[in-house]
Amino acid sequence: MTTTEPRATTPAPPASVEPRRPRRRRTLAPYVYLAPAMTLFTLFLALPIGYAVYLSLRTVKVSGLGLGSGARQEVWAGFSNYSRALGDPEFLASVGRVALYGLVLVPTMLGLALLFALLLDAKRTGVKGFSRVSIFLPYAVPSVIASLLWGFLYLPRVSPFEYVAESLGLPTADVLSSNVILFAIANIGLWGGVGFNMIVIYTALKAIPQELYEAARLDGATERGIAWRIKIPIVAPSLILTFLFSMIATLQVFAEPTTLRPLTNTISTTWSPLMKVYRDAFTRDDIYSAAATSVVIALATFVLSFGFLRLVQRRAFAQENG
């Protein structure tokens, strides 16, 4: 009864507005939800990266003596910053050092992390909580502090190790000398990194259903056999993840060598690629070539990470997909 009357007096508007409103809401809604993330992403990731790329294509040209205002001018540099970065023997040497550092550090660190995780997971381990915390604790120590602590332990005259070795008549070695400095730095990374990786692997181990172990034991598998045949293959994805993180961290090693540098002659200001970026930007005041080197490092990290993932993906995740 009432339905026909309003329709006659106010015909179109309600009918046409009503269905349109929800449609507009539907189209706007995703953007509203995305806005905070997009804003943060743009402000704190995309823009800085864009600015770094822009800077890497610029350079400062000085005229004459370069004194007084107006003597410096920012100009386009094309790819000259890039060609200089890639052709710089110091940069290549730093890449070589870091590659070796990674070869030493990553397998040792992940091997120890896996070993500790398996030990913690094994049935007979006592004082689990305490062991877990004490292995994890170094990860909570900032790497600068860790490097200072280790630096004091490395310096022969102030090191308690040296003191003990000397009083016992044992031979002492200078760990800051050029042959072993790489291992001394890797040791700090190892000390700080094992705990974190162990927790990641240990968490994955905890998620393995107990039935698998029971079945294995019924079939007569030993603890070692279970670890080797069941646990390690199942936590392989975690191992890949930790390997990826460690590889990226290796490419970005900075705090440890920078903190140790004043204590020894054997660490140059371009020891690692990021140290070279820092030196160029802040010691040499050449933010442009520093930006170019950063872009190169970022691209290399990207290529290595995704290349590695592609390589292992099929094999590692095959069993999950059946």
Partner 1 sequence: MRLHTAMKTAAVVAATAMLAAGCGGGSEGDGGSAADGPVELTFWTWAPGMEETVAEWNAANPDIQVTVNKQDGGDPAITKLLTAIKAGSGAPDLMQTEYQKIPTLVAADALADLSDVLPEDLADRYADGTWESVTLGSDAVYGVPQDSGPMQFYYRADIFEQLGLEVPETWDEYAQVAEQLHTADPSKYLGTFSANDAGWFTGLAQQAGASWWGIEGDSWSVDIDSEPTQKVAEYWGGLVEQGVIDNKPMYTPEWNAALNDGSQVGWLSAIWAPGVLEGNAPDTAGKWAMAPMPQWEAGDTATGNWGGSATSVTSQSEHPEQAAEFIAWMNGSQEGVNALVEYGSLYPADLDAQGEALAEPPAFFSQQADFYDIAAETAQGVQPFTYGPNVNVAYSAYNDEFGKATEARTADAFLAAVEAMQTATVDDLKNAGFSVAE
Provide the minimum distance between the beta carbon of 216 and partner 1 in the complex, in angstroms, as a whole number.
Answer: 54
Site residues for partner 1, window 267-286 (CB under 8 A)? 267-270, 279, 282-286
Provide the minimum distance between the beta carbon of 80 and partner 1 in the complex, in angstroms, as a whole number.
Answer: 9
Nearer to partner 1, 65 or 207 (CB): 65
Provide the minimum distance between the beta carbon of 298 and partner 1 in the complex, in angstroms, as a whole number.
Answer: 21
88 φ, ψ to 5°? -75, 120
Provide the minimum distance between the beta carbon of 110 and partner 1 in the complex, in angstroms, as a whole number.
Answer: 32
Q: Which stretch binds partner 1 (CB under 8 A): 18-26, 34-42, 147-155, 196-204?
A: 147-155
Q: Which of 234, 285, 291, 235 is nearest to 52 (CA)?
A: 291
Residue 277 vs residues 179, 198, 271: alpha-carbon distances, Å: 24, 31, 11
Nearer to partner 1, 134 or 178 (CB): 178
Are the C-beta atoms of residues 158 and 151 closer than 8 Å to each other?
A: no
d(CA 48, CA 53): 9
Among residues 8, 65, 127, 207, which is the contact residue for partner 1, using CB under 8 A? 65
List of E strands, the chain:
58-62, 72-76
Q: Which stretch binds partner 1 (CB under 8 A): 29-37, 59-67, 108-116, 127-135?
A: 59-67
Nearer to partner 1, 89 or 171 (CB): 89
Per the DSSP assignment, residues forming a β-bridge with 76 are: 58
Q: How many residues bind partner 1 (CB under 8 A)?
A: 38
Q: Which stretch binds partner 1 (CB under 8 A): 60-68, 134-142, 194-202, 239-247?
A: 60-68
d(CA 188, CA 152): 12
State the residue for tokens 């019924």: 218
Among residues 66, 96, 107, 233, which is the contact residue for partner 1, using CB under 8 A? 66
Provide the minimum distance between the beta carbon of 42 and partner 1 in the complex, in angstroms, as a whole number.
Answer: 20
Provide the minimum distance between the beta carbon of 285 and partner 1 in the complex, in angstroms, as a whole number.
Answer: 6
Nearer to partner 1, 120 or 281 (CB): 281
d(CA 129, CA 232): 22
Per the DSSP assignment, residues forming a β-bridge with 75 are: 59
Among residues 141, 234, 263, 298, which is the contact residue for partner 1, using CB under 8 A? 263
Among residues 2, 3, 63, 321, which is the contact residue for partner 1, using CB under 8 A? 63
Angle (nearest 5°) at CA 43 between 59 and 288: 10
Among residues 287, 292, 295, 297, which is the contact residue for partner 1, using CB under 8 A? 287
153 binds partner 1 (CB under 8 A): no
Site residues for partner 1, window 158-187 (CB under 8 A)? 158, 177-178
Are the C-beta atoms of residues 194 and 116 closer than 8 Å to each other?
A: yes
Give the long-range contacts of residues 263-271, CB within 8 A, separation 24 or more: 263/151, 263/154, 263/155, 263/176, 264/176, 264/181, 266/176, 266/177, 266/178, 266/181, 267/181, 267/185, 268/90, 270/90, 270/91, 270/93, 270/94, 271/94, 271/97
Query: And the tokens for 135?
Result: 């292995």
Could you list the residues that contact partner 1 (CB under 8 A)?
60-72, 84, 151-152, 155-158, 177-178, 262-270, 279, 282-287
